[in-house]
Amino acid sequence: MSHDYERAGEFRERASGANVELPYAGLDTFLKGRPADVEDVGDADAAVIGVPYDNAVSNRPGARYGPNAVREASAWWAYLSGYKDGLTNMRTEQQVDYSQFDVVDAGDAPVFPMDHEKTAESIRAHAATIAEQTFPVLVGGDHFCTWPSFEGFAMGAGHDSVGLVQIDAHTDTAEGSPVFGEDFHGSSTHHIATGDYGSFDSVSQIGIRGYESPDFFEFADDTGLNLFTMNDVDGRGIAAVAEDAVEAAAADTDAVYVTFDIDGVDPSVAPGTGTPESGGLSAHQALAVMETLGGHDAVGAVDLMEVSPPFDPEGSTARLGAYLLVTLLERTFAE
């Protein structure tokens, strides 16, 4: 017996609202962007790739689950972007039209939990492949992943020198550790600044607090590191600090890479991270940093690291992380 039925496409055309995807429905890609092969993202304004790797942490693991948590959290902004007449951003007081930019999700880079070197090679290759085509957005993963991602961006985009703006509780300038070796999440900025594409005087760090090595301020002066501690943020205001930080990173470089370690935010706001440090940025301050950076022409890539969902069952850390990335992309492409 045969029955007449309506085709799915016919139903979608007929039913008002059928093409609006609710934030909790559909595939968990970043901003509900279409899935894409990493070799074929050149037609998009930005391409997201996950790095589910946390074997270089020195404290609490769990950031391997960060990419998928951030993707899921980003669905809310994808839902809002469905408004055909655009949106008013009440923070920036700007009109936003998400139809102006296209973001795709290239899935996850292969990682090798027992092999730092091979994992770094994978991250470097995937970041470079995206950078030669479009704006890379990496979601980690622990902060070790930023070093090969930074190098991959420089290689793929054809830059000789790249500045770094790092929002973080810690400087990650350790040359190594007797326990963790030379390649761990506390050494990424050291590797960047002493590598082929970076230098300490083109690194700007925002939100640093807690403890560092003896005579660290002398180290910063000697190397030219642009250091903006939480005392600077509290004393000068986040807008002035963010503007000075990106200008210093952009000076005499071809582009700026932004890395946001979520532990730069106070753990009362973002508890889901491996190395929480009290006294950090508020959500407002963190978003203000990304608003400033997203409006600067030199910024060519961004990553978000150290979101560890097991330590935040409410998901507020992943939501803030997603909002931080959305904010930078919005300022760059949708205003």
Does a structural domain hold residue 17? no
- Tell me what the mean pLDDT of segment 235-243 comes to: 98
Residue 19: predicted pLDDT: 76
With cut-offs at 50, 70 and 90, classify the pLDDT of residue 99: confident
Phi, psi of 281 (to 5 degrees): -65, 145
Does a structural domain hold residue 224? yes
Does a structural domain hold residue 18? no
Does a structural domain hold residue 1? no
HEC sequence for 70-131:
HHHHCHHHHHHCCCCCCEEECCCCEEECHHHCCEEEEEECCCCCCCHHHHHHHHHHHHHHHH
- Whether the pLDDT of residue 58 is over 70: the answer is yes
How many distinct structural domains can be found in the chain? 1
Amino acid of residue 173? T
What percent of the chain clears pLDDT 90, i.e. is strictly above it?
77
- Tell me what the mean pLDDT of segment 139-145 comes to: 94
With cut-offs at 50, 70 and 90, classify the pLDDT of residue 1: low
pLDDT tens string 295-325: 999 999 999 999 999 999 999 999 999 999 9
Residue 193: predicted pLDDT: 97
Does a structural domain hold residue 93? yes
pLDDT tens string 264-289: 999 999 999 999 999 999 999 999 99
With cut-offs at 50, 70 and 90, classify the pLDDT of residue 23: confident
Q: Which DSSP state fits 148?
A: H
Closest CA to 71 of 112, 123, 30, 25: 30
Closest CA to 150 of 197, 204, 208: 197
Residue 261: predicted pLDDT: 98
Range of the domain at 163: 27-334
With cut-offs at 50, 70 and 90, classify the pLDDT of residue 22: confident
Residue 181: predicted pLDDT: 66
301: part of which helix (H) or strand (E)? strand 299-305
Query: Two tokens at 36?
Result: 């894409």
Decide: 40 and 129 in contact? Cβ < 8 Å.
no
Higher pLDDT among residues 39 and 95, named by residue: 39
- Whether the pLDDT of residue 34 is over 70: the answer is yes
- Whether the pLDDT of residue 182 is over 80: the answer is no
What percent of the chain clears pLDDT 70, i.e. is strictly above it?
98
Give CA–CA dist 6/9, Å, rounded: 8
Q: Please report the sign of the dihedral spanned by the C-alpha atoms of residue 245, residue 250, residue 251, residue 253.
A: positive
Decide: 52 and 67 in contact? Cβ < 8 Å.
yes
Residues annotated as binding site? 143, 168, 170, 172, 261, 263
Q: Where are the alpha helices (DSSP H) in the chain?
A: 8-14, 66-73, 75-80, 116-131, 146-157, 188-193, 216-223, 230-236, 238-250, 283-294, 316-329
Give CA–CA dist 99/295, Å, rounded: 18
Decide: 122 and 111 in contact? Cβ < 8 Å.
yes
Residues annotated as binding site for Mn(2+)? 143, 168, 170, 172, 261, 263
Does a structural domain hold residue 263? yes
Residues 6+ apart with CB under 8 A from 14: 6
Decide: 129 and 100 in contact? Cβ < 8 Å.
no
Give CA–CA dist 146/257, Å, rounded: 10
Residue 2: predicted pLDDT: 58
Give CA–CA dist 151/120, Å, rounded: 10
Chain mean pLDDT for the chain:
93
Higher pLDDT among residues 53 and 16, named by residue: 53
Amino acid of residue 96? V
- Tell me what the mean pLDDT of segment 86-115 comes to: 90
Amino acid of residue 30? F
Residue 291: predicted pLDDT: 97
Query: Two tokens at 115?
Result: 């092999």
- Whether the pLDDT of residue 258 is over 80: the answer is yes
Here the CATH number for the domain that contains residue 283 is 3.40.800.10
- Whether the pLDDT of residue 195 is over 60: the answer is yes
Does a structural domain hold residue 272? yes
Give CA–CA dist 134/201, Å, rounded: 27
Q: How many CB atoms within 10 Å of residue 85?
A: 6
Does a structural domain hold residue 4? no
